[in-house]
Amino acid sequence: MTGVHDLLAELPRPAGRIPTASPAWTDETDVIIVGTGAAGLAATVRLLDAGRRVTVITKAEPGDGSTAWAQGGMAAVIDTDDTATSHIEDTLVAGAGLCEPGAVTELVNAAPATIRRLIDLGAHFDLDRDGRIALGLEGGHHARRIVHAGGDASGAEVARTLAAAVATRADSAPAGDFRVRTHSTVVDLLTDDRGVTGVRLIDQDGTIGELVGSAVVLATGGIGQAWDTTTNPATATGDGLALALRAGAVLRDVEFTQFHPTALAVPEAFRRPGDRGVLISEAVRGEGAVLVDRHGELIMKGRHPLADLAPRDVVAAAIHEHLMTTGDDHLFLDGTHLGERVWREHFPSILMLCRARGVDPINEPIPIRPAEHYSCGGVLATLDGSTSLPGLYAVGETASTGVQGANRLASNSLTEALIAGDRVGCRLAARIPDTPRSTSTNEGRGYAVAAEHRDTIGAAMSAGAGILRDEAGLSVLLKSLDGLPVGDHARSAADVETTNLHTVGVVVAAAAMHRTESRGCHRRSDHPKPLRRWERHSLIRLGPEGLAITTRQKGS
């Protein structure tokens, strides 16, 4: 019989680099920011304030990441009845033994000032009747501490505020000091033996360029597009994880994938490339919507004392089990009895997003299924962005700072992205690292996975690395990822993304196979309990011999 160690010894080898045509242009700057979500924009504001030369790169347009889609809000201790101790405790409980308490304390202490700074930059948050910031309550929090805007449009307000702050500062920057490269995808990091020295990128016409800088900040967001249903936008293809891995950086705890129980199962006729789901927030169930099957039977009744309002992972597992048992493709979230006023006033964004995909929640139950929502692990980094490689920084969802542990507490992620972005910006504003300005790429074995295989990866990941995992399913997944045909170079940004999705698939499956326990949002049906000996981080690195997985004691 094959043991887990044999399976791990034969892991597929992710691309060591992505070969492309030769660069048609080169340029240089001080700091390169990859990503224009909360983390990337927060860093950019600080760098522009300090007069640094900055180039910001984004795959589509500013605001194309998860940030603008956030429906809940940002967690911060603002209410006089709330305490930092309580926010810390709630975060540690959600993190199921794998949070780094130091990072959590830093986040909680910095959060209120981060909200004040956003207000100073022009953010308009929802207010209560007395004109104070209205504070929401979300699952896992023992106090009202969720700052929100426009009902369910908090992320859009954060994105608008930061984009406006960048635009104002850009107007007064000396010509050529500030550049934004839209519709450009970073393919690989440039490295030499002392660290990261820049990026190679591809634009929408397939033209390759190279940009050299003293610091590269990865603020590339999530990995959701690796699954066939996700709440994440089309840009969330795990590029930051793959770029860092190929350059030799360490990834941590990537097996901890948070699934959301209720994402719109987009009807086939409305499905567009990259549109793999729409988040239907828990708040809709909070208002009274219920989960039903195709016969209208209640799903959560009798399963948990809180029924439809049971914790996120309990609801997601119940839906998953129902779908597995019945073979159905989706269930329904019935909020037709809430009435038009509630939908329009409380959930205007969800209403609009569903209607744009042919579903009218006022008049019909919403087809839903669980979806990948958030990656708790990522590039090993401190809360001010330092990674294991000189010249490389990682902030926001792509980083693993120890704040999220084995499961993210709701609304801590936007707060983390803002704080880490702000901190790396301040740090690089004060001092640019003295890294060499050479343009070399790493020498690893290069290949590319063509864009036509994207759906195959999504289906394999959902089947093998979904809500409930086991050794047999993970092993099938790893084999199917290993069996994908590869080409000798990437012709388009879509090929680059698909190669990165393949890498994300391999590292998530490998780490999930390695962790023979259930903890936080990593659930194994063949190892259903958390184990004391597994109260450790998992680390992955790509070396000359392929992927190496180790574990490390917390706090070390």
Ligand X SMILES: Cc1cc2nc3c(=O)[nH]c(=O)nc-3n(C[C@H](O)[C@H](O)[C@H](O)COP(=O)(O)OP(=O)(O)OC[C@H]3O[C@@H](n4cnc5c(N)ncnc54)[C@H](O)[C@@H]3O)c2cc1C
Residues carrying an active site annotation: 312
Specify the stretch interacting with ligand X by CB under 6 A; choose among 101-109, 166-174, 229-237, 266-274: 229-237
Q: Which of 508, 262, 503, 539 is nearest to 373 (CA)?
A: 262
Q: Which of 233, 221, 239, 226 is nearest to 272 (CA)?
A: 233
303 near ligand X (CB under 6 A): no
Question: Is residue 31 within 8 Å of 431, Cβ to Cβ?
Answer: no
For residue 525, give both structure tokens. 């049906």
Closest distance to ligand X from the beta carbon of 554 (Å): 23
Task: List, in order, residues 6 or more apart from 283 with CB less than 8 Å away.
Answer: 71, 72, 152, 346, 347
Site residues for ligand X, 237-266, by CB under 6 A, read 239
CA-based end-to-end distance of the chain: 35
Residue 379 vs 460, nearer CB to ligand X? 379
CB atoms < 10 A from the CB of 306, how many?
13
Closest distance to ligand X from the beta carbon of 520 (Å): 16
- Give the Å distances, CA to CA, from 321 to 303, 330, 505: 12, 11, 23
| Look-up of token digits 């130091």 | 102
Closest distance to ligand X from the beta carbon of 200 (Å): 10
The 155-194 contact track toward ligand X, x by CB under 6 A, reads x-----------------------------xx--------
Closest distance to ligand X from the beta carbon of 73 (Å): 5
Specify the stretch interacting with ligand X by CB under 6 A; choose among 53-61, 311-319, 331-339, 503-511: 53-61
Residue 375 vs 388, nearer CB to ligand X? 375
Residue 249 vs 477, nearer CB to ligand X? 249
Strand residue runs (E) in 472-531: 523-524
Strand residue runs (E) in 219-376: 251-252, 257-264, 290-292, 331-334, 366-375
Specify the stretch interacting with ligand X by CB under 6 A; choose among 9-17, 235-243, 345-353, 481-489: 235-243
279 near ligand X (CB under 6 A): yes
- Give the Å distances, CA to CA, from 105 to 90, 99, 111, 167: 12, 10, 10, 33
Neighbour order of strands in the sheet with 25-28: 25-28, 208-212, 195-203, 184-192
The 118-147 contact track toward ligand X, x by CB under 6 A, reads ------------------------------
Specify the stretch interacting with ligand X by CB under 6 A; choose among 104-112, 217-225, 347-355, 428-436: 217-225
The correct pick among 55, 67, 197, 404 for binding ligand X (CB under 6 A) is 67
Residues of the shown chain interacting with ligand X in the complex, contacts defined by CB under 6 A: 34-40, 57-60, 64-67, 69-74, 154-155, 185-186, 219-222, 231-232, 235-236, 239, 279, 374, 396-398, 411-414, 417
